[in-house]
Amino acid sequence: MVFLIRLQLREDYSNLIFYLSPLVAVALTLFFGSFIFLILDLSPIESFKIFFISPISNSYGISELFVKATPLAIIALGLSYCFKNNIYNIGAEGQLTMGAIFGGGIGLLFNDSTSIFLLPLMILFGAIGGAFWATIPAILKTKFNTNEILTSLMLTYVALFILDYFVVGPWKDPAGYGLPKSMPFPDAGRLPVLIDGLRVHIGVYFAFIICLITYIIYNKTLFGFKLKVTGLSSKASQYAGFKYKKLIFYTFIISGACAGLAGLFEVSGPIGLLYRDISPNYGFTAIIVAFLGRLNPFGIILSSLLIALTYLGAEDAQLFLKIPSAVGFVFQGLVLFFLLGTDFLNKYKLFIK
């Protein structure tokens, strides 16, 4: 007996379902997530409360939600340019790290500065650092036709080792008891917080501005049109006379710059210095955020908040339920899995014979 699963492309797949499928995916995640809690001998309802509701039941929690959502949204918005263009930049984590090294490096270089220009300069260098790191896979792709998924991913580890080198080597804080971290940035190099006493910072504004600009680019400009056409059909893009190689560069540079920006915001915002673990995998998680938000700028803002919540929930769950915080990653993985699944079934009909 041979089981054959046959797939048939749906001629008329639904746009409505395309936009609803993130909700379906979240619902399925909650449903199957409750089994995880049951296996761990915990009440699902109680656990979900701790996971998803209690973290944002006070102003501190909501501030933290935005602290986590800001880098996710900024990176995911940048990644959406690549993904729309069918370029799979998986190395946002490395570009984030490079942004932190470049921008943070400026902060350390001028560590006695009180100038109001220090922070803008750091932000600029953060973006340049990320863009620089993203140009490498773009060059490799356009000149040697290498797979950008592999090169951008591998460069992530290179970037992490470079950061490692700096914080245990030349940039190590002499007064830091030998810990692998840099000196704190001067006050002029710190990102202003929005509300005194909370950590939410002006990066939130950047996220919203990038979201609006992205929306305009996607819907009103020739550049956005080129991305859309190329993503849908590379042959039509050639017919239209668009230069694919140029688009690869532009999209890599934009997404790298966004990731670099997010990296700089992390180190000059909540962290305040450079050390080894500046990012809890924001660069990788942002891939989920971008797809969960359907590569739509406003959708990405919403999905970044949802995924940020899984970070917070995981911390609370570790604290109150005594389960490992990796459960947060499990939830992120489930969301992505179900999203891909619903998308697939929206596109194809299944026959089993």
Partner 1 sequence: MQSIVEFKNIFKSYPGVLANDDVSFNIKEQSIHAILGENGAGKSTLVKILYGHVKPDSGKILINSDLAIINSPSTAKNLGINMVFQHFSLFESLTVAENLILGMNESISLTKLKDKSKTICDKYGFNLNLNSPISSLSVGQRQSVEIVRSLLNNPKILIMDEPTSVLTPDEISKLFKIIKNLVKDGLTVIFISHKLEEIINLSDYVTIMRNGKVVSTILTQNEDPETLGYKMLGYKVSKAKQVTDINFSQEIFNIKNLSTQSKDPFTINLNKINLNLKKGQIFGIAGVAGNGQKELMEILLNENDYQFSGDIFFKDLNINNLSTFQRKSLSISYVTEERLGHSAVPEMSLSENIFLSMNHKSEFKKGDFINFEKINSYASDVIKNFNVDTPSYNVKAGKLSGGNLQKFIIGREIMSNPELLILSQPTWGIDAGSEAFIKKKILELSQNGVSIIIISHDLDELLEVCHQISVLYEGSLSNPLNVEDINIAKLGKYMGGLFD
Q: Which of 224, 226, 246, 245 lies closest to 297, judged by CA?
A: 224
Phi and psi at residue 192, to the nearest 5° = -60, 140
* CB nearer partner 1, residue 6 or residue 220: 220
Please tell me the count of residues contacting partner 1 according to CB under 8 A: 17
Q: How far is the CB of 256 from partner 1 (least distance, A)?
A: 21
* 347 part of the interface to partner 1, by CB under 8 A: no
DSSP result, 61-113: HHHHHHHHHHHHHHHHHHHHHHHHTT-----HHHHHHHHHHHHHHHHHHTTT-
* CB nearer partner 1, residue 88 or residue 244: 244
d(CA 147, CA 293): 25
* CB nearer partner 1, residue 20 or residue 240: 240
Q: Which of 236, 319, 340, 350 binds partner 1 (CB under 8 A)?
A: 236
Q: Which of 8, 178, 196, 235 binds partner 1 (CB under 8 A)?
A: 235
> Mask: binding to partner 1, 204-233, rule CB under 8 A, as x and -?
----------------xxxx-x--xx--xx
Burial class (CB in 10 A: 0-12, 13-18, 19+), 158: middle
* 340 part of the interface to partner 1, by CB under 8 A: no
Element (H, E) at 127: helix 118-144
Q: How far is the CB of 14 from partner 1 (least distance, A)?
A: 13
Q: How far is the CB of 228 from partner 1 (least distance, A)?
A: 7
d(CA 68, CA 290): 15
* 239 part of the interface to partner 1, by CB under 8 A: yes
- Residue 297, both tokens: 């700028």
Q: How far is the CB of 292 from partner 1 (least distance, A)?
A: 21
> Mask: binding to partner 1, 59-88, rule CB under 8 A, as x and -?
------------------------------
* CB nearer partner 1, residue 13 or residue 32: 13
* 247 part of the interface to partner 1, by CB under 8 A: no
* 14 part of the interface to partner 1, by CB under 8 A: no
| Residue where the block lists tokens 């891939």 | 287
Part of the chain binding partner 1 (CB under 8 A), chosen from 109-117, 136-144, 241-249, 315-323: 241-249
* CB nearer partner 1, residue 202 or residue 217: 217
Q: How far is the CB of 233 from partner 1 (least distance, A)?
A: 4
| Residue where the block lists tokens 């059909």 | 233
What lies within 8 Å, CB to CB, of 315 at 6+ separation is 55, 325, 328
Q: How far is the CB of 253 from partner 1 (least distance, A)?
A: 16
Q: Are 73 and 207 in contact (CB under 8 A)?
A: yes
Q: How far is the CB of 260 from partner 1 (least distance, A)?
A: 24
CA gyration radius, the chain:
21
What lies within 8 Å, CB to CB, of 157 at 6+ separation is 94
Residues lying near partner 1 in the complex (CB under 8 A): 220-223, 225, 228-229, 232-233, 235-236, 238-243
